[in-house]
Amino acid sequence: FEDAALSDVALTPLVVMRTSYSVLPRQFPLSIRPGSLVEGATYRFELVAQQASAFIDVVVAVAPVAGLLEVRPAIGVSLITNFTLSSSNWATANLPLKYRFETRREDGRVNRVLRTVELDPELRDAVLVAANPSYLACVAIDTLGAWGEATTTASVFPLQDNVDAVANETITAASAVFNKALVCQVAAAAADLVSTTSTQEALVDVLIPSWDIYDFGGDQFSEFASALVAPITRATASIL
């Protein structure tokens, strides 16, 4: 461990004592604080009982590194411009990689999920929320669950004219072709721009049924939730 004993990083007890009146548990799990193991290192964990012992050697995965993220075009208009995000150049020993695309806040925290984990390193025809700069990220995840990330920025300007009409048209088209990721992207982008409560409510009306249509699960929930919160928050603010 990095300048630490196992007792310093363990989140579960390292010793279980048996008295004459107690029964030892069938399982004795070990949980270690995240970030305590060195990438690429090999650790031996040993379990010692009164009359026996056993050990296991664990190799810590090395996260994918050296990845790049490119956005084309680098400048566009929300709801009008279709952006393509491409990630490449990753180095890893544990292929294949899967990729998740996100927008980020200025401090690096996840803002919205653009597309959940897939094998395709490219996200085509993405609709981005107006922001200048718009912080974009790709998270590459290997077969062992280790991950690395690449980031870039784009300049996405707000649509100025016919916002409600364009928003309605765009989300209707996305919903008609059952493009789950695009429905979520359009809803989030439109919610930041539309001026009428009826259009905001329409965005929610499209998203709610999509929960059943697209059979969301696992990591996809974050994609749906990040899109849903935008129109709901905007509609609530308008009512208040």
**Is the predicted pLDDT of residue 99 greater than 70, yes or no?**
yes
- What does the pLDDT average to over 201-214? 63
> pLDDT tier at 211 (50, 70, 90 boundaries)?
low
**Is the predicted pLDDT of residue 139 greater than 60, yes or no?**
yes
**Angle in degrees, 0-180, between the axes of helices 197-214 and 220-239, rounded to the nearest 10:** 160
Q: Which of 39-48, 104-113, 129-138, 197-206 has the highest mean pLDDT?
A: 129-138
pLDDT at residue number 36:
86
Question: Cβ–Cβ contacts within 10 Å for residue 151, how many?
Answer: 15
**Cα gap 52→68, rounded to integer Å:** 50
**Is the predicted pLDDT of residue 227 greater than 60, yes or no?**
yes
pTM of the model: 0.75
Predicted confidence (pLDDT) per residue in 88-98, tens digit: 999 998 999 99
Q: Name the least confident of 80-84, 191-195, 224-228.
A: 224-228
Q: Name the least confident of 84-93, 128-137, 146-155, 184-193.
A: 184-193
**Is the predicted pLDDT of residue 72 greater than 90, yes or no?**
yes
**Cα gap 193→207, rounded to integer Å:** 17
pLDDT at residue number 236:
47
Query: 3-state SS of the chain?
Result: CCCCCHHHHECCCCCCCCCCCCCCCCCCCCCECCCCCCCCCEEEEEEECCCCEEEEEEECCCCCECCEEEEECCEEECCCCCEEEEEECCECCCCCCEEEEEEECCCCCEEEEEEEEECCCEEEEECCCCEEEEEEEEEEECCCCCEEEEEEEEEEECCCCCHHHHHHHHHHHHHHCCCHHHHHHHHHHHHCCCCCHHHHHHHHHHHHHHHHHHCCCCCHHHHHHHHHHHHHHHHHHHHC
pLDDT at residue number 163:
82
Predicted confidence (pLDDT) per residue in 4-43, tens digit: 588 888 899 888 776 655 566 667 789 999 888 888 889 9
